[in-house]
A and B are shown apart, each in its own frame.
Chain A
Amino acid sequence: NAGVTQTPKFQVLKTGQSMTLQCAQDMNHEYMSWYRQDPGMGLRLIHYSVGAGITDQGEVPNGYNVSRSTTEDFPLRLLSAAPSQTSVYFCASNSWQGPGELFFGEGSRLTVL
Chain B
Amino acid sequence: DAKTTQPPSMDCAEGRAANLPCNHSTISGNEYVYWYRQIHSQGPQYIIHGLKNNETNEMASLIITEDRKSSTLILPHATLRDTAVYYCIVVTQGGSEKLVFGKGTKLTVNP
Contacts and interface: CB of A to CB of B under 8 A. Distances in A.
Interface in B1-50: 2, 32, 34, 36, 41-46, 49
Interface in B41-64: 41-46, 49
A41 interface: yes
Interface residues of B, number: 28
B103 A100 contact: no
Nearest to A54: B97
A35 to B, nearest CB: 7
A102 B46 contact: yes
Given A33-B99, A42-B87, A42-B103, A102 B94 contact: no
A31 B44 contact: no
A104 B91 contact: no
Contacts of B93: 99
A110 interface: no
A100 B91 contact: yes
A88 B85 CA distance: 16
Interface of B: 2, 32, 34, 36, 41-46, 49, 85, 87, 89, 91-104
Please give me the 4 A-B residue pairs with the lowest Cβ-Cβ distance, nearest first.
Answer: A104-B43, A100-B91, A99-B96, A100-B34
27 contacts: A31-B96, A33-B97, A33-B98, A42-B85, A42-B87, A42-B103, A42-B104, A44-B101, A45-B99, A45-B101, A48-B97, A49-B97, A56-B98, A59-B100, A92-B43, A96-B96, A99-B96, A100-B32, A100-B34, A100-B49, A100-B91, A100-B99, A101-B46, A102-B44, A102-B46, A104-B43, A106-B42
